[in-house]
Chain A
Amino acid sequence: MTISLNYIFKRIILALCVIVGIVVFSYVLILATPGDPAVKWAGNPRGPGATRAVQLAREELGLDKPIYVQVAIFMYNFFTGNLGFSIAYKGLPVVQAIITSFMSTFELTLIAYIISVPIALYLGLYSALKRGGIFDSIIQPASVVLASTPTYWLATLLLLAFTISKISVYGTASPRLIAETEFNTITGSYLLDSILQGNVRVFVDSLLRMIPPALAISVYPIGALTRLVRVLVAESLLEDYVKASIALGVERGIIIRHFVVRSIIPSLVQISGLSFTYSLIDAMVVESIFGRRGLGSLLISALNTADFKIAITLIAFIAIFYIIVNTLVDILQAIIDPRVRL
């Protein structure tokens, strides 16, 4: 089957327009908030070097130039990754600080989704098929409770439980192990890095430490997606083609596997993509509870050092990630669904 590139092309152009808008908005946010943007851009410096830092920031921002030139310069800098250095991460380039932190958060969220999507599919499917039965009447309220549980609270409880039972889950990996095996971060994703370095011990350690925070993060998608799957399955069971195939004597198992499950996958993919980006935010909060490296801890240190640069770039970065995921998921959905003639 050929997918016409037209749709994909349009979708990408649209996404690019929105991304440009996001970057412009981030810049406007600096200008619109009270206070001297140069002072803010320099990160509210204090002490002897302050005037010089503000002066540098003013030049860097080009605040004397007309506003559209300023926007253009900012955009140019943003997309070339030339954003100066972060205060929060002690002189690390902003882009590097954000990307390594992002990789770590992304990895955690991904693990949470690898846990939660199959569980949600299973629970939603069976509660829909056994509607009104015991399983359904347990799963239905349980999924509401799961979707309403504050992730960060659950994470705290988990940390509490592990700390009381003297199992160390704090941090991304055991510092002793890192020192012993001479592990160093490359991408920021510990799993990936340990594979790249062939470091089995760090891999296992960081995977195990990931489980409790990932569980906390996966509670929301399990609840929300279970309910989604239940509705989708119910709808799909009422489709004409399901009815027609029942009348032709197609077995129940085949109908469920190849008719029902297959028909809900495009919607499931789309909604999972959408909720993935929310869970990324959840992951940021959970991370900071478990003392893991990531966007969450970056956010906290940006708060403590009043690092505006990080804050603004982070907004643009996460928003762009959101747009990219949604665009990809839309395109993916179109590719899976043979009906969509693009």
Chain B
Amino acid sequence: MIRRSFIILRRSLRKIRFKIGIVISLVAIFLAILAPYIVPRPQEGLGYVPRDVEARRLLPPSIEHIFGTDSLGRDLFSRVIMGTRTALLQVFIVITISFLLGLLLGAIAAYLRGLVEVLLNYFTEIFMAMPTIVIALVLRLTLGHGIHVTISSLIMTWWAWYARIAYVYARGVVELDYVILARLAGLHSLKILHRHIVPNIIQPLIAQAITDLGSVLLEAAAINFLGLGVQPGYPEWGVILYESVFYGGGVEVFTQAPWLIVFPGVFLLLVTLGFSLIGDCLREEIDPRLRRRWRLWF
């Protein structure tokens, strides 16, 4: 399996799209780790309002403030760069937990069959239908502000997708001869799950997870953008947009200060794009249907 993953990686690396995706993601990770050390005003990046607010309110981009300042005089560059960390953190936590939960539940359901299978399918069906942002609204009303609202409302819907995919693949594997034989021979169930089922379904699931990184990032930002997640002032791109669109005076303000909208959005777009490019190339390599070559030849 590791060998195959390596081959897939090497093949993908021939594509320019994949390289662009990798570069964008690496830069994002780099910024996320080093953000507090490279931005000029880390305190403002975390939401603290400078003392001379009045003098520094809504300054256009300049050498001192590369991306300009917001309506509370904070340096937008610092906020946006610090936001990279939140963005990656949200995405990473949501995908990891949903992935593990889905993998486990899907594999178990396919393996045990019977009532467990029926119940799991029923629950995935229900949770796949759940509108994430309205769940976020309920959590926000009960739990108050915070990144945990964004993360938990996303996990609530995303796990079901992985459970579904894992289940579908695992069903195929469970019916393979050698798995049936292993079962008849009395091999321990955990061992079968660990040795035969999980390795066989993990690869498409990982490709799916990588493809989903971008969607999760966009959804997380959307939740924060509606003011359902983190508090205003938090270093997060969605909430920076929220502050300028809904909070900081509405249309009048952001027509005067378009940089408030442009910069966080561009970062959001670029990182999403980077993730999508990687996921796309990997899927092309894994799914043989996407690898076939054709040309209009008749």
Contacts and interface: CB of A to CB of B under 8 A. Distances in A.
Chain B interface residue number, banded? 35 or more
Contacts of B125: 18, 21, 323
Nearest to A33: B142
A152 B222 contact: yes
Given A18-B129, A153-B261, A308-B138, A285 B268 contact: no
Contacts of A18: 122, 125-126, 129
Contacts of A284: 133
A158 B100 CA distance: 39
Interface stretch (B29-37, B66-74, B223-231): B223-231
B265 A144 contact: no
Nearest to A255: B298
Interface of B, helix, strand, loop or mixed by DSSP: helix
A157 to B, nearest CB: 6
A242 B129 CA distance: 37
A128 B246 CA distance: 42
Contacts of A246: 298
Chain A interface residue number, banded? 35 or more
A108 B227 CA distance: 23
| Residue of B138, B241, B254 most packed against chain A (CB within 10 A) | B138
B292 A234 contact: yes
A322 interface: yes
Interface stretch (A73-81, A205-213, A265-273, A299-307): A299-307
A153 B241 contact: yes
A300 B218 CA distance: 19
Contact of A147 (B222, B276, B298): B276
A196 interface: no
Contact of B277 (A17, A144, A299, A318): A144
Interface string A139-164: 00100110111111110110110011
Interface in A299-321: 299-300, 302-303, 306, 308, 311-312, 314-315, 318-320
B255 A164 contact: yes
Nearest to A302: B137
Contacts of A40: 141-142
